Amino acid sequence: MKKVLEVCVDSVESAVIAKEAGADRLEVCANLLIGGTTPGVSQFQQIREKCGIALNVLIRPRFGDFLYTDAEFLMLEEDIRMFRKLGADGVVVGCLNSDGSLDLERMEKLRACAGPLSLTLHRAFDVCRDPYQALEEAVSLGVTTILTSGQAPDCRKGKEVLEKLIAKAGERIEILVGGGVNGEVIHQMAEEIHAFSFHMSGKKTLDSGMAYRKEGVNMGLPGLSEFSVFRTDKEEISKARKALDAI
């Protein structure tokens, strides 16, 4: 039984916190608040230097769906090649067709670009048409891991699908449970559906250090303060680590 705690981080500071709190590996991204996008080179390099654990890099050029234009797909390929050269341990990707099926042709190309790196199929899986067919296709493609909430808003609501996926996957592919994961959820999922690989962000909101704050000018998401800083919560990751170790 292999137990894995993966933490998704979008800053160097969060990466260091997650590593110190007991993460086995990190998913490195930018813009976690919108589901994550491809991180910057300098961000990755600093995390690589400071964190001596496995780093999987999210390759996602934009917010939104997973039906990519030719130009966007070229970005996916080039970014995978770049992060492979920079020392990533794995990449996190996903492409769908307009009918909701897994885009096998493009996924095969991304698998080739990744070479020896581990390949995670991200939560594009959670919005695909048939998760069980996509599971078998992912295995055939040589995908290492599927990150999924069981096609639900969070993993507790997707528990029945997750249980079936874990049973069908066996030892062929890792089912990485994500979506609302914390220490309590880890205990519950391990006990009820025999899940042992988990993905979480465990983030908290901090107040910006800015003293001067111009009002009435919003450059980001509506309703979100420009002076909120999001960081990995060391206590939440530590609780998750303890819960996983206790299984």
H-assigned helices in the chain: 12-21, 41-50, 70-86, 104-114, 131-141, 159-169, 183-193, 234-245
Structure tokens given for 126: 């959670």
Q: What is the pLDDT of residue 1?
A: 67
What type of residue is 166?
I
Provide the 10 A C-beta neighbour count for residue 211: 5
Task: Kindly report the pTM of this predicted structure.
Answer: 0.95
Task: Output the average pLDDT for the chain.
Answer: 96
Domains of the chain, start order: 4-246 (3.20.20.380)
In the structure encoding, which two tokens stand for residue 122, read together? 């991200």
Greatest alpha-carbon span in the chain: 55
Q: What is the pLDDT of residues 20-76, one digit of tens each?
A: 999 999 999 999 999 999 999 999 999 999 999 999 999 999 999 999 999 999 999
Closest C-alpha to 158, from 191, 129, 138, 131: 131
* Distance of alpha carbon 94 from alpha carbon 112, whole angstroms: 14
